[in-house]
Homo-oligomer: A and B are copies of this chain.
Amino acid sequence: MSEKNVLSDFKPDGHNHEACIDTALATASTVCRERGLRLTPLRQRVLELVWQQHMPVGAYDLLDALRSDGRRADPPTVYRALEFLLENGFVHRIESLNAYVGCGEPKHAHSAQFLICGNCNRVAELEDPAISQIISEKADGLGFRISQQTIEVTGLCGECREHAPA
């Protein structure tokens, strides 16, 4: 099965995660330059912190991390950075967890679907037109005009299925 619709699959332990972070930061830098956005040191650092792992991270965890940097930080500091990163597609918010995760494809706006492992907390991001379209069709049938889709699926990733069979 083609994985063209998977923006970010579940990443195995031991993959080259430094490369994930570097790519995310480089892409953000490029996109900001192209769009005339200011990727300030604070915003870049928050983005880097969000990308520390392939799992959603809470705003107050980010706050603690900023403070560990030695930086003075309070809630608006992190929420404003997140607002910028969300608006410009560098991170997504996971509504069901009140948490934030790096976007695997920030170069174009998209409607994503998330698979969230309840055991290891890792997240996969899909951008599957078939899912979006069938929802759009059903909404159209009711006269509803969609502006945003929130699709978050909880369960067990393949790796956790094997190690924690039910």
Contacts and interface: CB of A to CB of B under 8 A. Distances in A.
Interface string A52-96: 000000000000000000000000000000000000000000011
Interface residues of A, number: 39
Contact of A156 (B115, B145, B151): B145
Interface string A1-36: 100011001100000000000000000000000000
A84 to B, nearest CB: 20
Interface stretch (A41-49, A101-109, A136-144): A136-144
A112 interface: no
A146 B138 contact: no
Nearest to A141: B1
Contacts of A146: 153-155
Identical chains bound together, number: 2
B145 A153 contact: no
Interface of A: 1, 5-6, 9-10, 95-96, 113, 115, 117-118, 124, 126, 128, 130-131, 134-135, 138-139, 141-158, 161
21 contacts: A1-B141, A5-B138, A95-B150, A113-B135, A113-B138, A115-B142, A115-B144, A124-B144, A128-B138, A130-B138, A131-B134, A131-B138, A134-B134, A135-B153, A139-B155, A142-B157, A143-B157, A145-B155, A146-B155, A147-B156, A148-B154
